[in-house]
Every structure is written in structure tokens, then in C-alpha cells.
């Protein structure tokens, strides 16, 4: 079963990068199997840029990518089990 705890337990490492001169933040999450997923965030007005908020949004977007991947994996397992 997919739960928030399951998804969070898959994350082994997180890294962030803000492109110089921009408001673009990228979060790269390394999963326990070594696979990487990314999430991005950007601020429209440079004066409103908040690095902590950018990291939070980018991480949320990366976590959403894990949900997609794990959802696919779970559905494939159900499909293969039904085919047997």
C-alpha cells in the first residue's frame, strides 16, 4: 500500500540548487535504490524570492514524482499478479 510514510522512507538524500541570477530552485532526491527524481520551483518576481520557500516547493514537486513512479510500480505488480 502506498502511504506518505512509504514515500518518505524511499528518500535517502536531498540536494538543492538555485541557478545563479535566477529564482529557479531545483531539488534532487536520491532514492534508496540510487534513482534520482527532481522537482523545480520558480518565483515570478525576484524581489519576492525566498530560498526556503523555493526549497519547500521544489521538494514537494519531487515527492509528487515519487508518487507517480510508485503508483505505476504498484499498478504493474497488480497487473502482473492478475495475469498469472
CA-to-CA dists, residue 47 to 22, 50, 59, angstroms: 11, 9, 22
pLDDT per residue over 52-68, tens digit each?
A: 999 999 999 999 999 99
pTM above 0.85, yes or no: yes
Q: Domain 4-83: state its class.
A: alpha beta
CB 75 within 8 A of CB 67: no
pLDDT per residue over 2-49, tens digit each?
A: 999 999 999 999 999 999 999 999 999 999 999 999 999 999 999 999
3-state secondary structure 20-64: CCCCEEEEEEEECCCCEEEEEEECCCHHHCCHHHHHHHHHHHHHH
Is residue 65 helix, strand or coil?
Answer: helix
Amino acid at each position: 500500500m502506498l502511504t506518505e510514510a512509504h514515500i518518505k522512507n524511499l528518500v535517502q538524500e536531498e540536494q538543492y540548487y538555485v541557478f545563479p541570477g535566477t529564482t529557479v530552485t531545483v531539488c534532487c532526491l536520491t532514492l534508496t535504490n540510487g534513482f534520482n527524481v527532481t522537482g523545480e520551483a520558480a518565483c515570478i518576481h525576484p524581489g519576492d524570492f525566498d530560498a526556503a520557500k523555493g526549497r519547500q516547493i521544489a521538494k514537494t514537486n519531487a515527492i509528487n514524482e515519487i508518487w507517480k513512479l510508485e503508483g505505476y510500480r504498484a499498478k504493474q505488480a497488480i497487473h502482473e499478479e492478475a495475469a498469472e
